[in-house]
Structure 1
Amino acid sequence: MELDTPTLLLDRNKLDQNLEEMSRFAVENNVRLRPHIKTHKSVNIAKLQLQAGAVGITCAKIGEAEVMAAAGIKDILIAYPISADLKIQRLRKLLENNVDLKVSVDSLEQLKSLQKGLEDTPFMLEVWIKVNSGLNRCGVEPGNEVVELAQAIVFLSKLRLGGVFTHAGHSYAAKSSEEIQRIGLEEAKAVVESAEACEKVGIPVPIRSVGSTPTYKFAGKVKGINEIRPGNAVFFDAIQAGLGVSNLERCAVTVLGGVAGVYKNRIVFDTGSKTLCLDKGAHGNNTVNGFGHVIHHPEVTIERLSEEHGVGIFDETTSLTLKDKVQIIPNHVCTVVNQFNEYIVHDGSKVIDVWNIDARGMIK
């Protein structure tokens, strides 16, 4: 089967290895696994994760949750604060369809909006308090602010507290494995101490959940943590390899690109920014060289991207010629996946299936 370019390739053997690694860690450390599907956005892969022992899934946006719910996946955490009236109407529809829904909360104003939006329904919504463990994005501060929010939830008729969680995304800016470990331990501490503070005033917190592919193996071992939510670990990518979290050989997704031109001091691939995206690191840390790793061609660095062109440079010479095809490991696989409609699934030597990227473009 000849494939056109650019095409998104998924190595089934590497995918299965990555799925097994997450599941094994969860079993060995007696924690629940609730993987984030924003990396793969695929019903097929989400169901494989559930078959491998995941208790449910995590979504970034309501649109992703709607796609997964329509496919029969019912235990869903939306790890994003929701307060707009239009979005609460969509939450109501998910509840009407018997979705076991959990939603992130991090402010009193948001609690009021959710309560008001559900008051004329028979539903009670489970909410999880988002704690800021250092990323300084969403979330209340650990300790007292968590307790104050938990106390407010207790008095609301349409909301119930199900958990405390965080995401240590700032681990992507770490300069060493030791720093990643430190961030992971701080991540767990923020959740555990916040949950314990709630329980000291008589408010139970059943779930204490941590995420982040770089940190989950550190945070997930801390006493008191009982759930992990890795996302990128389903595939890995060049940034994870740059961080030392994984290696390039474990990356399950590549982009099949074509050589569109070879010149004296440069080579052009048909994989521009609309294919490879512009990530060169995360949260201030440039962990990669160029805009993707060209497999078997270390002499080539993809130096710059325009929309349809990936411009590579090389030292002295390259064996690549016009019309050749290459596989490129993306820097940040999550954003690249969202550019494609489907995965071409292969076993390393031949194509074995085609899977839809069902939640592609679901950004609302």
Structure 2
Amino acid sequence: MRQQIGKQVDELDTPSLLIDLDRLEKNMREMQSLADSRGAALRPHIKTHKCGAIAQMQIECGAKGITVAKLGEAEVMADLGITDIFVATQIVGVQKLSRLDALAKRATIRLAVDSLIQIEQLFQYCTQAADVEIMIEVDTGLQRCGVEPDRVEILINKIIGKFPEIKIGGIFTHEGHVYQAVDRKQMVQIARQAQQTMVELSQRIRSRWGIASEVSVGCTLALQSAGIQSGITEIRPGTYVFYDATHAAYFGDTSRCAATIVGTVISKSGDKRAVADVGAKAMTIDMRASGLLATKSFGSVYRHEEVIIRKLSDEHAIMVPGTPFAIGERIEIIPNHICPTVNLYDTAYGIRNGKVEVVFPIHARGRNQ
């Protein structure tokens, strides 16, 4: 793919994933500056970009290690020399824990837990269990994984009682329920309450067991809306590198959106509609129906925000009205949800001044196990 370097964007085949390098670098600097200003470590979640080169850029910008969702992502990043890794999803079963065992021999691993059963399996199937630092997930309102705040100390007591050799690194949460907020005020309230819950819990843990608990939160818009409270020691945002149309709905503009899909208008029915070659196999089909972050379209057509992408089929984006477009015209679409979109591509093209400056392999594409 190096032969693409130096090409104009219009020379790339479509659909292709483009990364605006100026915006990417600015987004990285801004989030690192936010973390530094509050004395918190930045451990970015790489599930957004799944790219070793971009992860290395984040580390060079000041990030402390990375966060991953899957063991497959962790294995790929370790292969690329990035070895300070937080696996922020619970891992169970002999297949995965055998892989974790091998990974822990060549990387420093933190692991998410929210049950004693996970610890029992860790020690049953992983010979390196004593070297794996655990992070207890706290459910601060998302109602996905995690222990309810008033039960965290009960779990810690059980873990220490049965596995005194265990390394408890701290607590973490994903306050992703901010995306359900109806307005900015509610978003700030949700984010601040989640952080306050975590800080107060860490103080009780320190008082009871003397554990200098890491206090880790992780949500781009929670951090953008509410900042970082005193007592938060680590942040784990992911989408801040690229942002997407959902985030543009929050900011009120697309100036931070670094990732777009370039497509070609392949059909047109008068002014009624135009069709581009960017379907559900090239871009996420996510939409948010209500609330502060509601999206009225399956993505935002860059520089044509008045156009609605009414429908995505496998290979087609149906846009209304078709007035602004001509058959053969190139367009760029900002996806509603960038994380699953990136996972559809083998490569992304880093663009500066309209030319391909770098080709990014999506190293962890499809690493969903």
TM over 0.5: yes
Q: What is the aligned counterpart of 1:112 among 104, 115, 120?
A: 120
Aligned to 1:345: 350
Amino acid at match of 1:105: V
Q: How does 1:1-364 map to 2 (within 5 A)?
A: 1=7, 2-97=11-106, 99-118=107-126, 120-121=127-128, 123-143=130-150, 145-155=151-161, 156=163, 159-217=166-224, 221-244=228-251, 247-264=253-270, 265-281=272-288, 287-314=294-321, 318-364=323-369
Structure 2 Cα separation of the partners of residues 222 and 188 of structure 1: 7
Are residues 84 and 203 of structure 1, via their aligned partners in 2, closer, same or farther at CA, if it must alter by over 3 Å? farther
- Who is 2:3 aligned against? none
Partner AA of 2:176 in structure 1: G
Specify whether residues 123 and 137 from structure 1 end up closer, same or farther in structure 2 by C-alpha distance, changes over 3 A only. Answer: same
CA RMSD, aligned part only? 1.8
One-letter amino acid matched to 1:348: N
TM-score (norm 1): 0.94
Cα distance change, pair 298–86 in 1 and its aligned pair in 2 (3 A)? same
Instruction: Please state how far the C-alpha of 1:203 moved relative to its aligned partner.
Output: 4.0
User: For residues 299 and 284 of structure 1, do their structure 2 counterparts lie closer, same or farther at Cα, with a shift above 3 Å needed?
Assistant: closer
SS in structure 1 at match of 2:67? strand
User: Which has the larger displacement, 5-14 or 219-228?
Assistant: 219-228
Quick check: 28-37 or 174-183, which moved more?
Answer: 174-183
Structure 1 CA distance, aligned partners of 2:264 and 2:103?
A: 42
SS in 1 for 2:24: helix
Distance 2:280 2:109 in 1: 35
1:82-123 Cα distance to aligned partner (Å, 9 max, x none): 1111110011011111x11000000111111112223x4584
Residue 300 of structure 1: how far off its partner (Å):
2.1
Structure 1 Cα separation of the partners of residues 38 and 129 of structure 2: 37
- Are residues 121 and 331 of structure 1, via their aligned partners in 2, closer, same or farther at CA, if it must alter by over 3 Å? closer
Give the letter aligned to residue 137 of structure 2.
K
Question: What is the percent sequence identity of the aligned residues?
Answer: 39
Partner secondary structure for residue 63 of structure 2: coil
Give aligned pairs, total: 358
Q: Displacement of 1:337 after TM fit?
A: 0.4
Deviation string, structure 1 residues 232-274 (Cα, Å, up to 9, x no partner): 0111110011133x73111000000111100031111101111
Are 2:101 and 2:129, in contact at CA under 8 Å, matched by a contact in 1? no
- 1:243/1:287 contact within 8 Å kept: no
Question: CA, structure 1 residues 180+285, in 2 after alignment: closer, same or farther (shift >3 Å)?
Answer: closer
Whichever residue aligns with residue 146 of structure 1, its letter is V
User: C-alpha displacement at 1:297, in angstroms?
Assistant: 2.1
Conserved 8 A contact 1:174-1:243 = no
| Unmatched runs of 5 consecutive residues or more in structure 1 | none
Partner amino acid, structure 2, of 1:104: A
In the TM superposition, what is the alpha-carbon distance from 1:321 to its structure 2 partner?
Answer: 0.9
Where structure 2 has 5 or more consecutive residues not aligned to the other structure, the ranges are: 1-6
Deviation for aligned residue 1:207: 0.7
Q: Once the two structures are superposed, what CA deviation does each residue of 1:69-88 show, in whole Å capped at 9, x if it has no partner?
A: 11111110010011111110
Deviations 1:155-196 (A, max 9, x none): 415531001000011111112111111111111122112212
Task: Measure, in 2, the Cα distance between the counterparts of 1:348 and 1:288.
Answer: 29
Higher relative contact order (Cα pairs below 8 Å, separated by 6+ residues): 2
Amino acid across the alignment from 2:12? L
Structure 2: how far apart are the matches of 1:338 and 1:289? 23
| 1:182 counterpart SS class | helix
Q: Could you say what secondary structure the match of 2:235 adopts?
A: strand
Question: Residue 299 of structure 1 contacts residue 318 of structure 1 at CA under 8 Å; is this kept in 2?
Answer: no
Query: Which stretch of structure 1 is more off in the superposition, 133-142 or 209-218?
Result: 209-218
